[in-house]
Amino acid sequence: MLNGCEKGLIDNFRQLGCNGLADKLDTALSSRHVASSELFSVMSSVTEAELLDQKQARADRLLRMAGLKGTYSNLDILEYRSGRNLDKVLIDRMASCSYIDECINVVITGAAGTGKTFISRALGVQACNEGYRTRIFYLRELLKDMTFRDRAGTDSYAKRLRMLSNVPLLIIDEWFSVAPSKDELVILHELVDSRYGRRRSTVICSQMPSGNWAGYCSNRALGESITGRIMSKVYEMNLQGTDMRKAHFERP
């Protein structure tokens, strides 16, 4: 049975809008075991539980916004098979998401099926779980969308660019799978330059080695400028080995 002071404390939390915390405190103080504990210990326990709930709720919201809710990709199940050229020390370092705080880009290259997309999305899941806003795009779709907005002649392009420039982690897949047009290259340069200026982290997946990017662009100067900004501070992984999709395929 709660005393007047305990009821008043719980009611105060409800009036402050901390309903989840109030419920946990009510449950804790109603427990015969917990009721005999020091109030400080009880408050410490229920606030930690509430913080964990809030962290999970934020992670779920960020995962939905990034399109990663329910994805299979996760760093915990990453396979370090022989010949994949995966650096576990580097992966473990990135799992802390310190590279986002340090504004370090991640470039993942390799042939189709070597696991570039899986790793990039696993990094995205980890970032969301740690509270970082994340967005994922295929480069071709991103450039088409930005070109459409630019030609519309409204403030839609500026708003989109501002969002993409400010998001802490931007993941771009299929980088240069198709050569960007002259107009698209200008847009891509503006985006990369804006994120570089705002010190944001970008994860890029490409079948093309970074050394070949500039030569693939219709304007080599812009290509070199884009490449230089991305590679100025970067963790680079060149995946090798067999096609992981085929390795996981089981015949009936």
- Burial-class residue 88 by CB neighbours within 10 Å (0-12, 13-18, 19+): exposed
Task: Dump pLDDT digits (tens) for 188-205.
Answer: 999 999 999 999 999 999
**pLDDT band per the 50, 70, 90 thresholds, residue 252:** very low
- pLDDT given at position 158: 95
Q: Give 173's strand partners.
A: 138
Mean pLDDT rounded to a whole number for the chain: 89
d(CA 57, CA 61): 6
111: amino acid identity, one letter? A
Q: What confidence score (pLDDT) does residue 251 get?
A: 41
Summarize pLDDT for 27-65 with one digit per residue, the tens. Answer: 877 776 665 556 657 776 777 777 788 889 999 999 999
Rounded average pLDDT over 214-236: 96
User: For residue 228, what are the CA distances in angstroms to 27, 116, 190, 210, 213?
Assistant: 57, 21, 13, 10, 10
97-147: pLDDT as tens digits: 999 999 999 999 999 989 999 999 999 999 999 999 999 999 999 999 999
Kindly report, residue by residue over 160-176, the tens digit of the pLDDT.
999 999 999 999 999 99
Partner residues linked to 239 by β-bridges: 110
Q: Residue 3's pLDDT band (boundaries 50, 70, 90)?
A: confident
Q: What percent of the chain has pLDDT over 90?
A: 68
Question: What's this model's pTM, rounded to 2 decimal places?
Answer: 0.82
Question: What pLDDT does 53 receive?
Answer: 84
Give CA–CA dist 97/71, Å, rounded: 19
Is the pLDDT assigned to residue 247 strictly greater than 70?
Answer: no
